[in-house]
Structure 1
């Protein structure tokens, strides 16, 4: 639908006047610089695509947005198609399938057409110096907002529909990615102004863009180094560093924090019976559940094996805070218990259910004021929960059972077509 809408609007705008020799030269310049940018930064872009499978800002909006506000609709569309197709061919194949590339290109085309329409309405004489004077700056700001709203909105909608458990972060992206897109569009607006005044000056945009590309790559590599590959959570070292920072802040500023350690019960039986690929699916599903059940500023990490850890800043050791901690822990326990993970195998579809998790908790203040002490206390509470029968929540030094289910099952593994559900392990 998005692709057909973009195509229909391009066809309707094809008869619009305004395709002059000067505009053709501007379009050729933007396409040349867009292709040159990709060729110079292709290795960095390939690395960026490898280290993250989630959508990210590719910085090509500099050229497509400049074309949107400066060129007639047909030429702006041509710039977007050429730049995006070349970027996909050189940097994204085969990780990005053709249908996804067509959808992404269509969203950019629609954003370009809308941004161009705004500029033509607010600053109709922008083909000369109108972008830098009079109503030109206002037109650029409005066009930027329209461009990013349409492009980001369509992408966010597609992610929300296709993701099994969409969150605000997965749908709208991290704030720094959105800030980067905004900065890229601002640079595109400046590129359009410079191109309208003196086309040779646009060459100065390229070095700044390449430096920005490298800086973004370094940031993504740092994030990848702190992320657990199987779950997408913080790895043990990164979690410990961030958690230590939060606890130190709580000590200095009189703040608060609470901690949970979670361990999957009988996880070894999943790996023993169905292999480590099935175990990896279980870990990923549990990690997604943890992210869903906590706040965006809570620190969720994988400590190794089947053990996870969560730091909840602001949750204190008062009666209310302790009740909130137990509520969060028990909600997670129930969500894990309700998981049903389906995956294909050479022997047919496999469903893994009946998973359980034991949880131990500790609160800053009552259970210690150092991260090491909080971890020791939560770990002791965790083993207390396991000794009490598993699938339970124990909190603090004098923990008590907060969430027993009355049974201690192993994960139920069965072939979907057979309907059998033998206990594992």
Structure 2
């Protein structure tokens, strides 16, 4: 698994006219964190290199695993590479794990280098520091797990660092397979924690790391683990058996990429939310269902106030962080049945199935309040943003999606014209500042009627 790698962004200019490198635009703690991971990997490389006894067979086996990974990269390259926001997964662990279990730990540190160089050249060029960090994370995790694997069977840390060949024979036994599975699972956990740490430092406003641990992610990790250990056992029996191992791994890799590409077509690459066409399609179905069953539904259009000013002041990369932060905050305040999408620019759209006028107003006020209290730090300076929200309800402001979007857009325009950082309805009143209809805040406030 690796951090999702977006296409390289245009280099921004500092106020003095000089270009700013993307890695230096991030938090200082992130630069330190990534540097520590890389330096640790380099230190362990030097130590392992001094303790490793090289052999022609080990080098041949290493080249065979690199070739297998290269075939999988090349075989899936024509499918394209998805660019979802957040995290991207692959099945390259199927080639890390055999190296961990069959070769001295030094090779575990080395194998990410040629594979990620190939990814950089043959799939899509991305930020070099991100590729380097991903390779260092994989190498460091693989090395530590490989040392653990060899230490278990040699009975000493020195034997673990050297990679005593006797440990390889354990793969032919039941207990050996169990230990191999546990070690490879440890690699997955360790690499995930390293990546999650970088993501957390990069975007402190993101709460939770669900994409790393959801059901689909765990399923992919389990498949990767089983395939990797299977390849290790086959390679231990004979390197010639890798010929029959490559096609199924290639098929699994292509299947995973195809699934991610399908998701990428439906989602916005910067926020991970539904894109406008997908949201409109699904929202139309929900609204038609509500109309046919005489149910309720509401549409919200959310716009970030003065977003152009944020981009002009702090740069477009920081603007992307603001978009992701607002999207995450909004998503956390919605129900599972609600439909959230990015409508373009700094606008988001929300469908609230089953919500009447009062409930829609409360939901919009809750979003406004939560986003208003959100802070994103740039250059150690906290930056806050606010949103304006237009609300339209099925049956009161329109009967289909086009009518509701038009009404909500007019309400949003009215919110902007009357001072921003507020909620409005097409022909209703502006939301009282800091007060939610139907609740008590210095006196009871009746829900808006929408008239």
Give me the TM-score of the superposition, normalised by structure 1.
0.70
Match of 2:61 in 1: 26
Distance 1:254 1:137 in 2: 59
Match of 2:449 in 1: none
Preserved CA contact (<8 Å) 2:372 2:385: no
| Corresponding residue of 1:208 | 248
- From 230, 254, 261, the equivalent of 1:190 is 230
Paired residues of 1:260 and 1:311 also in contact (CA < 8 A): yes
Secondary structure, in 3 states, of the residue corresponding to 2:91?
coil
Closer, same or farther: CA 254–127 of 1 in aligned 2, 3 Å = farther
Q: Give the count of matched residue pairs.
A: 382
Residue segments in structure 1 that go unaligned for 5+ positions in a row: 344-351, 406-425
* Larger mean Cα displacement after TM superposition, 53-62 or 10-19: 10-19
The one of 217, 220, 223 equivalent to 1:180 is 220
Deviation string, structure 1 residues 163-189 (Cα, Å, up to 9, x no partner):
364343588487645543442232111
1:10-409 → structure 2 map (5 Å cutoff): 10-14=45-49, 22-44=57-79, 47-48=80-81, 51-52=83-84, 55-93=87-125, 95-97=126-128, 99-122=129-152, 126-128=167-169, 130-163=170-203, 165-169=205-209, 172=212, 176-177=216-217, 179-228=219-268, 233-244=273-284, 259-263=299-303, 285-286=322-323, 288-295=325-332, 297=336, 298-304=338-344, 307-312=347-352, 316-317=355-356, 324-331=362-369, 334=372, 357-360=388-391, 362=393, 378=408, 382=412, 385=415, 391-394=421-424, 399-404=428-433
CA distance in 2, matches of 1:198, 1:311: 57
Residue 238 (structure 1) shift: 0.5
- Once the two structures are TM-superposed, the CA of residue 202 in structure 1 deviates from its matched residue by 1.8
Q: What SS is found at the alignment partner of 2:44?
A: helix
The 10-residue stretch of structure 1 (52-61 or 251-260) with the greater mean CA deviation from structure 2? 251-260
Structure 2 unaligned segments of length 5 or more: list them. 1-35, 155-165, 435-451
State the match for 2:43 in structure 1.
Answer: 8
CA contact (8 A) 1:360 1:385 kept: no
CA distance in 2, matches of 1:72, 1:388: 68
CA contact (8 A) 1:391 1:403 kept: no
Q: CA deviation at 1:20?
A: 5.3
- Report the alpha carbon displacement of residue 111 of structure 1 after superposing the two structures with TM: 1.3
Q: 1:359 aligns to what SS in structure 2?
A: strand
| Higher RCO (CA-CA < 8 Å; seq separation 6+) | 2
Q: Could you say if the C-alpha distance between residues 312 and 180 of structure 1 is closer, same or farther in structure 2, counting changes exceeding 3 Å?
A: farther
* Cα RMSD, aligned residues only: 4.6
Map Cα deviations across residues 252-273 of structure 1 (whole Å, 9 max, x no partner).
Answer: 9999875422246788xx59xx
Matched position secondary structure for 2:42: helix
> Is the Cα–Cα contact under 8 Å of residues 234 and 302 in structure 1 kept in the other structure?
yes
CA distance in 1, matches of 2:53, 2:316: 60
TM-score by length of 2: 0.66
